[in-house]
Amino acid sequence: MNSAKRFEIFRMFFSIVIALLVSFVLIFLVSKQPVEAIVTLITGPFKSKRNLANVVESMIPLIFTGTGVCIMFSANQINLAGEGAFHLGGLVASVCALQLGLPAGVSPVVALCLAALAGALFTAIPAFLKIKTSSSELVSSLMLNYLSLWFCTFILMHYICDPQVGAASFKLPAESELITLLSGTRIHLGLFIALAVAVFGYVFLYKTRMGYELRLTGENENFAKYSGVNIVKVILVSQLVGGMIAGLGGGVEILSPIYNRFSWTSLLGYGWDAIIICTLAKKNPIYTPLAALFLAYLRTGASIMSRSTDVTLEIVQITQGVIILLAVAEQFLSKTKHKMIAREAKASLKEEEAA
């Protein structure tokens, strides 16, 4: 491993430590039982099988949206429609499960494929607009998320709503549910799908021709163009694949044992969280499970802490915020990095003189 990579890992670790310290200080400031709160935050997730299972369950959607964002961001396509694609994927999978009446085994496969397709088409809208009108995908994708939310709510309320429950769909059939892997928990097959997706994302970006084109474009579009890469194709494919994975994630989530009806009437935020995952994973999908595990652990801990002490759940938001801030702040520890580089440059100057 070269020194630059080592430095990045060190920097990431340092960011997390600082973020946790900041959160601890805040807990001390606001809580009457700070030590207890911190201990619960850290050890809570290990306290019971259920808590531990909670961590794993909440990891799953994060891996999906995180991988999707890694792919789009690697191509420097700052498409934030993963949020809306996830939501839409959930709806499409639910509708398929409810309406198609397919047998067990087939039903979830078809539902998930269609969810992925819906997600892909959805995130392709900003890509298409960018190619045709050179509008910023950042702005159009942000706006589109609301379109997705209200479209899904409309379909929910008018076509699949169970009048006896209110703002939720009819009960999803058992045939479509993803099987539970561990009895007594809700850890489901989606975990394997998520891990497979992370591996797929890694292979796609780092081992295929297309992925190489994506990364070339993402790192230096001028260079990619000069080398003969078809930039239009990169813009489209990166966002199609990114949205496909986010849509699949939405489908997996809704078909999991955690939900038995489609009841999402507000955005769930997995699309935003994906940006944190992508930042922690340094845009490499293979690290998204680790990043998702960390975030899920932190959130489960915070949720337990908020239930058993006087510190609220939102404290993790601050931790996340500080991590992101430090991780993306290029100047953070830049002096240390510069010293390292200067030392190497001086050493090579001396070598040249000697030669």
Partner 1 sequence: MANEIVLEMKHIMKIYSNGVVANEDVSLELDKGEIHALLGENGAGKSTLMKVLFGIETPDEGQIIMNGQEVTIKSPQDAISKGIGMVHQHFMLVPSLTVAENIILGVEPKKGVFIDMKKAVDEARKIAEKYNFDLDVTAKVEEIPVGIKQKVEILKALYRGADILILDEPTAVLTPQETDELFIQLEKLRKDGHTIIFISHKLDEIKKICNRATIMRNGKSMGTYNVSEISTDDMSKLMVGRDVVLKFEKKPIELKNVMMKVRDLTVYNSQGVLKVDSLSFDIKGGEILGIAGVEGNGQSELIDTLTGINKKYTGEVDIKGEDTRKKSIHDIRNLKLAHIPEDRMVSGCASNLNILENMFSNQYQQPDYSGKVMLKGKVIQKRSEDLIKEYLVKCNSYKQNVGMLSGGNIQKVIVAREFSTGPDIIIANQPTRGIDVGAASFIRQRLLEFRDAGCAVLLISADLNEIFSLSDRLAVMYKGKFSGLFTDVGQVSEETLGQYMLGLKHDEELGGVIYE
Q: By CB under 8 A, name the binding residues for partner 1.
A: 2, 4, 207-210, 212, 215-216, 219-220, 222-230, 334, 337-338, 341-342, 344-346, 348-349
CB of 327 to partner 1, least distance (A): 16
CB of 341 to partner 1, least distance (A): 5
Residue 11 vs 87, nearer CB to partner 1: 11
CB of 163 to partner 1, least distance (A): 49
Nearest to 55 by CA among 301, 317, 257, 312: 301
Residue 232: in which H helix or E strand, if any?
helix 231-255
CB of 150 to partner 1, least distance (A): 38
Residue 39 vs 349, nearer CB to partner 1: 349
Residue 4 vs 104, nearer CB to partner 1: 4
CB count, 10 Å around CB of 135?
Answer: 13
CB of 3 to partner 1, least distance (A): 9
Question: Side chain identity at 353, as an amino acid letter?
Answer: E
Do residues 86 and 247 make contact, with C-beta atoms less than 8 angstroms apart? yes
Start-to-end Cα distance in the chain: 27
Residue 47 vs 225, nearer CB to partner 1: 225
Residue 158 vs 335, nearer CB to partner 1: 335
Residue 56 vs 224, nearer CB to partner 1: 224
HSE, side-chain direction, 13 A CA sphere, residue 274: 35
Residue 16 vs 216, nearer CB to partner 1: 216
Nearest to 98 by CA among 244, 268, 260: 260
For tokens 């397919």, name the residue: 102
Residue 158 vs 207, nearer CB to partner 1: 207
CB of 1 to partner 1, least distance (A): 8
CB of 228 to partner 1, least distance (A): 3
Q: How far apart are CA 150 and CA 309, in angstroms?
A: 36
Nearest to 60 by CA among 211, 239, 259: 259
Nearest to 70 by CA among 242, 233, 221: 242
> CB under 8 Å, gap of 24 or more: what pairs does 97-106 form?
97/172, 97/173, 97/175, 97/176, 97/255, 98/160, 98/169, 98/170, 98/172, 98/173, 99/160, 101/173, 102/175, 102/176, 103/175, 104/174, 104/175, 104/176, 105/175
CB of 287 to partner 1, least distance (A): 17
Locate 326 and state its tokens.
Answer: 């430090």
Residue 99 vs 227, nearer CB to partner 1: 227
Phi/psi of residue 180, nearest 5 degrees: -80, 140
> CB under 8 Å, gap of 24 or more: what pairs does 216-219 form?
217/75, 217/76, 218/73, 218/74, 218/75, 218/76, 218/77, 219/76
CB of 203 to partner 1, least distance (A): 8
